[in-house]
Chains A and B, each alone.
Chain A
Amino acid sequence: MVTVDTSATAVDGVTLVTVTLAGDGVDRYVRLEQQLDGPVWPPRREGRPADGWDEAGYEGVVPADARIALGYATPAPPTETPVTVTAAEPVATRCDSQQYDGHLTDPDDVVRQLGDPSPPREAVPLPDESGRKPVSKPDEPTNEDEVGPVVKAAADADSADASDTDAPVRAWFERVEQRLAAVERLDEADSVPAATAALRATGGLAQARETTRAVEADRRRLLAVARRAETLAARAEAADVPIATLERLA
């Protein structure tokens, strides 16, 4: 029987699991199942789970007279038995179609072998790059009198010409929409693969945290702008300039 040696260590809220499998004189297909109460975060190649890994564990061949070493992470707390071997059949008894033949057998294989084609994060402009307030400081207290570039731009304008303010308003709304779409994708993810894909699309955990904070700042700014806009609209409505009287007086 295959000999299994495991360890599980908690580091900063993440458990790192190591597994060593030693052969017993026969080549065996081995299935490892996660026993901890949480998802498997497998090693990745080009952003895809490495060969043999899935959401629940690992499947691969332990050579007759050799050891293989595996490792993965999980958010679940560690226990003494993080994984168990649920299958260990001799390779010879397996159906041939289940054996990996070295060909690119599914789309994930294509990505693993040829490389993730996504443009590097450094090449993609940040949503707020053109904004006047960097997204990295979203927690700054928001003063109602200074509600961001939109109102500032409007206040600086010499006239009420809409074209002066439309562009920055549109640009700001577009940036907010992009951030909202990103956090909504994260919110809607209801499975580990979906969450992983959403996190990847957002640019990783750190970027997701940053975007979430920025969205909270957006919410405060949007409400402040809405209140300010409502007040200004009410004043505009109430203002009834007696132009004819003024003309007579002039």
Chain B
Amino acid sequence: MILAVTGGKGGVGKSTVAYNLAAHLDGVVVDGDLGMADLPTARGPDLHDVLAGRATALEAVREETPVSILPCGRSLAGARAVDPTALVTAVEAVERVYGTVVVDSPAGMRADAGLPLYVADACVLVTTPAETALGDAVRVRALARELDAGLVRVVLNRVDSDPDCESVAELLGAPVIPIPDIGVIARAQASGQPVCRHTPDSDACRPFERLASTVRQECRHSRSS
């Protein structure tokens, strides 16, 4: 199963959702943000090397990290030197060996945001309640439809105590899972750990558990049908 975590706008929490989702699905998270990677990194070959033909995708996967990850390089020169279309075969190669891949997509609507949706079986759309974020989410929703990446759930991130999930679900055409705006999630991400490992008893783990469980069920269902 290949899942793209997308959103359109930057800074809405795509990487946090992708990292925690991969942790709960016991999959590999691919940091697909070629120009502004922000998932944990590690020494050794990275996605820039893979997409430039200097390493294979499997060589670049790290299993020793809290969540297995294919990290991405940080330099603009590295981002410029890659063939972005090679992401498709790279992600498929990781899926063949590890089974579940979560691709953390970049912001925007260019090909680097489109290619994860192209290769994915399904997607999760992350947005905040802000109007600008919702506007971008609508555009990415349309792109996901065009690229046949079924929308499993919308994650409405950083919500207060009474979020308007219904109108967001109606706008984007999929059920919404809200994630509260609490510090423990950001602290876990900053420490390079998924929330369930950083603070195992926290309520903040639950939305990610629920999301992972839904993704598992829906993807299994769509495959069997």
Contacts and interface: CB of A to CB of B under 8 A. Distances in A.
Contacts of A114: 109-111, 113-114, 143
Nearest to B85: A107
Interface in A80-102: none
B146 interface: yes
Interface in A172-201: 178, 185, 197, 201
A104 B119 CA distance: 12
A178 B115 contact: no
B175 interface: no
Given A118-B79, A124-B80, A46 B111 contact: yes
A107 B88 CA distance: 7
B77 interface: yes
A197 B83 contact: yes
B80 A110 contact: no
B218 interface: no
A178 B146 CA distance: 39
A128 interface: no
B169 interface: no
A103 interface: yes
Contacts of A118: 79-80, 82, 84
Contact of A104 (B52, B84, B147): B147
B110 A178 contact: no
B33 to A, nearest CB: 10
A71 to B, nearest CB: 25
Nearest to A103: B146
B80 A116 contact: no
Given A107-B118, A178-B77, A117 B83 contact: no
A57 B114 CA distance: 28
Nearest to B118: A110
Interface string A119-159: 10101110100000000000000000000000000000000
For chain A, give the interface size range: 20 to 34
Contact of A117 (B35, B53, B88, B146): B35
Contacts, number: 71
A203 B76 CA distance: 13
B112 interface: yes
B30 interface: no
Contacts of B81: 201
Interface in B64-94: 76-77, 79-85, 87-88
Nearest to A111: B111
B34 interface: yes
Contact of A121 (B80, B111, B113): B80
A25 interface: no
Interface in A187-236: 197, 201, 203
Given A110-B147, A114-B111, A124-B76, A119 B88 contact: no
A115 interface: yes
B35 A104 contact: no
A125 B75 CA distance: 10
Contacts of B79: 118-119
Contacts of A110: 85, 111, 114-115, 118, 147
A108 interface: yes
Given A108-B85, A197-B83, A201-B52, A123 B112 contact: no
A124 B48 CA distance: 15
Nearest to A181: B54
Given A104-B114, A110-B111, A123-B76, A117 B34 contact: yes
21 contacts: A104-B147, A107-B118, A110-B118, A111-B111, A111-B115, A114-B113, A114-B114, A115-B110, A117-B106, A117-B108, A117-B110, A117-B113, A119-B76, A119-B80, A124-B76, A125-B76, A127-B77, A185-B53, A197-B83, A201-B81, A201-B82
The 3 closest A-B pairs by CB, nearest first: A117-B112, A107-B85, A111-B111
Interface of A: 46, 103-104, 107-108, 110-111, 113-119, 121, 123-125, 127, 178, 185, 197, 201, 203
